[in-house]
Amino acid sequence: MSDLCPLDYRYGRDGMKSIFCEESRLRYQMNVEAALARAHASLGTIPEKAAAEITRIADPKFVKVDRVKEIEMETKHDLMALVKAMTEQCEGDAGRYVHLGATSNDIVDTASALQIKAALDTIMKDVDRFLITLAGLAKRERDTLQMGRTHGQFAIPITFGFKIAGYIAEMLRHRERIEQTAPRACAGKMSGAVGTGAALGKDFFELQRRVMSDLRINYEPAATQVVGRDRYTELICVLATVATSLERYATEVRNLQRPEISEAAESFLAEKQVGSSTMAQKRNPITSENVCGLARIVRGFVIPTFENQVLWHERDLSNSGAERFILPHVFALLDDMLCKMDDVIGGLVVNRKRMLANVNSAKGLMMAEAVMMAAVEKGVGRQDAHEILREASMTAAENDEHLLDVLLRCGKLDGVMTEEEMRRHTDPTNYVGEASRIADDMVAAVESVLKVKV
């Protein structure tokens, strides 16, 4: 049986999946074994020639996945199977020095750190590309008038560029979180069975430093048999937070694409794309819906990651099986989601006429705050002004009238402001505050951080 997991045939991009495939896992582990040998040789523990030979054969073209599996069937130990397979390939007596002084998780955790480092590099590129796409949309729509909504109800006017500016600010924070988390997440160990370095001799500290310097990652300064799993918990929580933000943006697209709102929509290839197998008229936001579903899977890995922190004494094996699922799936899905949302935002169809029509459909009700604040500036008490506008708004809504007409008829603001002033204060184009400036500021922030021109 093959293709059991949807990552095998439906989700995820080849580049990210290749980082976590079986052959890559062995390659990363052999890279660690080779770095260990080189560190030993540099300290005079083993011959330089032996380290060079171990480095030469530390490659899947010499140490085959199938051979490692064959040995594992006998040993029931995957890392020992790798060690034996590497030893078989070494010429001369170099094989006797493979894995010298190390424990399995010196290799496994350090190799995982290398995988995480490569995966985070890809995620960061995804984030940067998405930020540029968001900035382009915010710049284009900086002045596009749109109804702001709270609780699903009309609130006060905004611009569509302002809405996207909020997404930019959030993604910039995520970028910063990833940068801050990476050094802690990309940490290995080379300290032996329970972390004391006993089997690695008098030069243990220097040996560990040289291995990690060679591999260009950090190391656990006080390990048990494993790297502290708080590192993985922080990592997965950060990635799950990014996924949740993507779900937020996708949910907004789904809502704005509803026919009764119809302000923005995913692009649709009208010549060929099919929305439904029976309802021929359908244009569904399928990519945004997919992103929402995948975000839930990513968040689902948060709880087992927390549980993996709790190990018996210097460690047990309860975390191992879970982590084999968690790391590849979270990275592959988030990479997939970032690229999909980049496509959605990059191809977003913005219906400016419908946005304006929806604003006008409110018949001035969303301008109650603007009139209230103008009345306060004219000397009316804030609470009195609020009650005047509350009563007028309820009347306008009940009778399907424009707020301006109700205010002019009720006369409660006569002598406070002129009809011309009331007309100006009920014009939504005059009440978007600094929305356009905020959009400009966030575009500028992207340009500054990424050193690009949007």
| Ordered per-residue pLDDT tens for the chain, 454 residues | 568 888 888 899 999 999 999 999 999 999 999 999 999 999 999 999 999 999 999 999 999 999 999 999 999 999 999 999 999 999 999 999 999 999 999 999 999 999 999 999 999 999 999 999 999 999 999 999 999 999 999 999 999 999 999 999 999 999 999 999 999 999 999 999 999 999 999 999 999 999 999 999 999 999 999 999 999 999 999 999 999 999 999 999 999 999 999 999 998 775 676 665 555 566 789 999 999 999 999 999 999 999 999 999 999 999 999 999 999 999 999 999 999 999 999 999 999 999 999 999 999 999 999 999 999 999 999 999 999 999 999 999 999 999 999 999 999 999 999 999 999 999 999 999 999 999 999 999 999 999 999 9
> Could you say which architecture CATH assigns to the domain 104-142+154-357?
Up-down Bundle (1.20)
Distance, C-alpha 29 to centroid of its chain: 27
Instruction: Give the pLDDT confidence score for residue 9 in this predicted structure.
Output: 84
How many other C-beta atoms are found inside a 10 Å radius of the C-beta of residue 196? 14
Sign of CA dihedral 166, 169, 175, 177: negative
CA quadruple 181, 182, 185, 188: dihedral, nearest 10: -150
Catalytic residue among 18, 77, 213, 276: 276
- State the Cα–Cα distance between residues 130 and 137, nearest whole angstrom: 11
DSSP-assigned letter for residue 3: -
- Tokens 């600094």 -> residue: 434
CATH topology for 6-97? Fumarase C; Chain B, domain 1 (1.10.275)
Query: Using an 8 Å Cβ cutoff, are 450 and 132 in contact?
Result: yes
276 among known catalytic residues? yes
Q: What pLDDT sits at residue 98?
A: 98
Distance CA 341, CA 355 (A): 22
SS3 21: coil
> In the prediction, which pLDDT does 213 show?
98
Provide the pLDDT for residue 275: 65
pLDDT reported for residue 271 = 62
* Residues 365, 370, 376, 382, CA torsion sign: positive
Q: How far apart are the first and last CA of the chain?
A: 48
* pLDDT recorded at residue 59: 96
Contact between residue 318 and residue 227 where contact means Cβ atoms under 8 Å apart: no
Domain limits, the chain: 6-97, 104-142+154-357, 365-425
Residues 49, 131 contacting (CB under 8 angstroms): no
pLDDT of residue 8: 85
Can you give the pLDDT at residue 284? Answer: 86
pLDDT score of 281: 64
CA distance 359 to 429: 10
Q: Which of 285, 343, 294, 287 is nearest to 129 (CA)?
A: 343
Rounded Cα gap, residues 303 and 222, in angstroms: 25
Active site residue 151: yes
pLDDT at position 280: 53
Q: Quick check: 189 and 101 in contact, CB under 8 A?
A: no
| Closest C-alpha to 79, from 15, 18, 36, 16 | 36
Q: Is there a contact between 212 and 188 (Cβ–Cβ < 8 Å)?
A: yes
